[in-house]
């Protein structure tokens, strides 16, 4: 295997990790308006992802940096062609991070409600836009012989890309509902499980439609196994979720996210950005890659840094592994006190 092929799969792995982690992260953000009843339950949901959301975004930064280093032509064409949606994504990521940090800075109800609304809106927009962008990239874009993007924002508004955005939004919401049922207790846990059942059925239907369209569109047989795994994993997750086995349900829902993302990259390879104008003008892993010396250096750097990142992030999830409920939220002027005899562990916010 050439180094450029290896780095294509490394970048695919980084995006798989990002969508697996940020998938339930976005899903929980969406559920703050769909599942939570009142300010206290919204705090419970936010506390399930509070200690980890920023660590999850490390995968995005790493994926973008690796693309820039290993495939500079891919990076340049991707970010110039998707400039407007990328700007919206960056703005949403900034606002979402600010909302997590600023929400608890004041006690006013309106202040908190506004920041919670920003968490919901940005989570929804990000879940949708990532699906649109990756679906449009797989479908093909107007790339010329100079390997530059020759279209506009309207190129993204196509039925296949929009279906991809809706699919990722519902899939991430399902993934987030399963995570919420795993991390919470009491009535919110039971409602999260019930919502996951409904979202899971819709996810199966959308995945079948999107993955079938992808197969017809690309004709790439390598992605067939990933497509089948993605759908079956949702069905398995629904079965575990129905039996209140949230841990296994979460692993299965995560596998569906992993398989769906892997399917997109398998459908692309060896191309990285197919041209809808002329197949010969497509960017490939070979013609978009950096020099062999650069690829060799970043391979050594990645081999040293990746285990450290994985160990640190795994430790973070282990520390914050316990369930939380409304009884663990510190008492405020708008929150009820804890039942007698219930000990309050420290909450993130």
DSSP 67-108: HHHH-HHHHHHHHHHTHHHHHHHHHHHHHHHHHHHHTTS---
Mean pLDDT of 130-150: 87
Split at pLDDT 50, 70, 90, the class of 278 is: confident
Task: Answer whether residue 127 shows pLDDT above 90.
Answer: yes
List of residues 6+ apart from 128 with CB closer than 8 A: 165, 166, 168, 169
Q: Is 131 exposed, middle or buried (0-12, 13-18, 19+ CB in 10 A)?
A: buried
* Residue 221 falls inside a structural domain: no
* Residue 162 falls inside a structural domain: yes
* CB-based contact 249:181 (threshold 8 Å): yes
* Residue 36 falls inside a structural domain: yes
Mean pLDDT of 183-187: 88
* CB-based contact 263:231 (threshold 8 Å): no
Task: Answer whether residue 18 shows pLDDT above 50.
Answer: yes
* CB-based contact 8:297 (threshold 8 Å): no
Split at pLDDT 50, 70, 90, the class of 347 is: very low
d(CA 211, CA 164): 9
d(CA 147, CA 152): 15
Highest average pLDDT, of 78-82, 112-116, 200-204, 338-342, comes from 200-204
Q: What is the pLDDT of residue 280?
A: 86
Mean pLDDT of 15-42: 90
Split at pLDDT 50, 70, 90, the class of 1 is: low
Task: Answer whether residue 345 shows pLDDT above 50.
Answer: no
* Residue 225 falls inside a structural domain: no
Higher local confidence (pLDDT), 301 or 205: 205
Mean pLDDT of 253-258: 94
Compute the Cα dihedral for 217, 290, 17, 143 and give only its sign: negative
d(CA 280, CA 133): 22
d(CA 126, CA 187): 28
* Residue 151 falls inside a structural domain: yes
* CB-based contact 188:35 (threshold 8 Å): yes
d(CA 135, CA 119): 24
* Residue 257 falls inside a structural domain: no
> What percent of the chain shows pLDDT beyond 90?
40
Buried b (16+ CB within 10 A) or exposed e, 171-186: bbbbbbbbbbbbbbbe
What range defines the domain where residue 187 resides? 3-192+270-328
Q: How many domains does the chain have?
A: 1
> What percent of the chain shows pLDDT beyond 70?
93
Question: Which of 260, 141, 137, 154 shows the shortest CA–CA distance to 209?
Answer: 260
List of residues 6+ apart from 119 with CB closer than 8 A: 29, 32, 46, 96, 99, 100, 103
Q: What is the pLDDT of residues 83-97, one digit of tens each?
A: 888 999 999 999 999
d(CA 309, CA 184): 27
CA dihedral 222, 201, 184, 321 (to 10 degrees): -10
* Residue 302 falls inside a structural domain: yes
Q: Which residues pair with 275 in a beta bridge?
A: 141
Q: What is the pLDDT of residue 335?
A: 44
Task: Answer whether residue 344 shows pLDDT above 70.
Answer: no
Task: Answer whether residue 147 shows pLDDT above 70.
Answer: yes
Mean pLDDT of 247-275: 91
Q: For 269, phi and psi rounded to 5 degrees?
A: -55, 135
* Residue 223 falls inside a structural domain: no
Split at pLDDT 50, 70, 90, the class of 331 is: low
Q: What is the pLDDT of residue 52?
A: 85
Mean pLDDT of 59-75: 90
Q: What is the pLDDT of residue 342?
A: 45
Whole-model pTM: value is 0.88
């Amino acid at each position: 295997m050439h180094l450029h092929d290896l780095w294509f799969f490394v970048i695919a792995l980084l995006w798989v990790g990002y969508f697996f982690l940020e998938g339930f992260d976005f899903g929980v953000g969406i559920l703050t308006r769909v599942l939570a009843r009142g300010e206290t339950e919204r705090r419970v949901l936010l506390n399930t992802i509070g200690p980890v959301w920023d660590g999850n975004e490390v995968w995005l930064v790493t994926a973008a940096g690796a693309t820039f280093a290993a495939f500079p032509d891919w990076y340049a064409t991707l970010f110039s062609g998707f400039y407007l949606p990328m700007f919206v994504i960056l703005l949403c990521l900034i606002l979402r991070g600010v909302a997590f940090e600023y929400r608890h800075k004041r006690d006013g109800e309106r202040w908190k409600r506004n920041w919670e609304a920003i968490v919901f809106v940005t989570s929804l927009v990000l879940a949708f836009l990532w699906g649109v962008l990756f679906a449009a990239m797989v479908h093909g874009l107007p790339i010329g012989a100079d390997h530059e993007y020759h279209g506009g924002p309207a190129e993204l508004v196509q039925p296949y890309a929009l279906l991809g955005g809706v699919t990722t939004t519902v899939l991430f919401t399902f993934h987030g509902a399963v995570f919420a049922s795993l991390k919470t207790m009491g009535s919110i846990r039971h409602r999260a499980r019930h919502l996951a059942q409904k979202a899971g059925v819709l996810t199966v239907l959308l995945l079948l439609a999107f993955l079938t369209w992808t197969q017809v569109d690309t004709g790439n047989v390598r992605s067939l196994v990933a497509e089948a795994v993605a759908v079956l994993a949702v069905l398995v997750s629904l079965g575990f979720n129905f039996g209140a086995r949230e841990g296994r349900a979460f692993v299965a829902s995560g596998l569906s996210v992993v398989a769906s993302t892997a399917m997109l990259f398998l459908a692309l390879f060896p191309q990285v950005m197919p041209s809808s104008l002329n197949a010969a003008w497509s960017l490939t892993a070979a013609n978009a890659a950096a020099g062999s010396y650069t690829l060799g250096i970043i391979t050594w750097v990645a081999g040293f840094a990746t285990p450290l990142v994985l160990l640190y992030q795994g430790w973070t999830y282990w520390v914050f592994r316990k369930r939380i409920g409304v009884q663990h939220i510190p008492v405020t002027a708008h929150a009820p006190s804890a039942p007698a005899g219930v000990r309050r562990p420290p909450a993130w916010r």
